[in-house]
Amino acid sequence: MSNKRKYQRKKHWPLTINVHVPGRAEPLNLDVGSTMRVKNLKQLIHEKLGSEDMPVERMQLQIEGGEILSKNIKPLDEYDIKDGSNLVLEILDKANAPTPRERKPRA
């Protein structure tokens, strides 16, 4: 009998989500995977818009009428985002943008 651990692969499925961007009349339609992380979604939005005035660090995504996607490392399916979900993009002011944590130097 083998004592090797068995890891279950997380199932993923394709999603089409609508991102409402300030200053645009039409939402941005994106085809993504359910296991895509929030930080990768923000980077994809940045690439699709091609706008330098919307840096990834200042983007904040929120489920329409619901939760803010605050943890960049969580996959979309952990936020219960389903096919056809609507997200709202906000660009935070520099003063309101989250600051990176300071790391303690290693001894």
Alpha-helix residue ranges (DSSP H) falling in 1-107: 38-49
The full set of domains in the chain, from first to last, is 14-91 (3.10.20.90)
Task: Please state, in angstroms and rounded to a whole number, the distance separating the CA atoms of residues 62 and 75.
Answer: 14
pLDDT in tens, 62-96: 998 888 998 888 998 888 888 999 999 998 886 55
pLDDT of 7: 60
Per-residue b or e along 14-41, where b marks 16 or more CB atoms closer than 10 Å to that residue's CB? ebebebebeeeeebbebebebbbbbebb
Instruction: Give me the chain's average pLDDT, please.
Output: 83
Read off the pLDDT band of 41 (50, 70, 90): very high
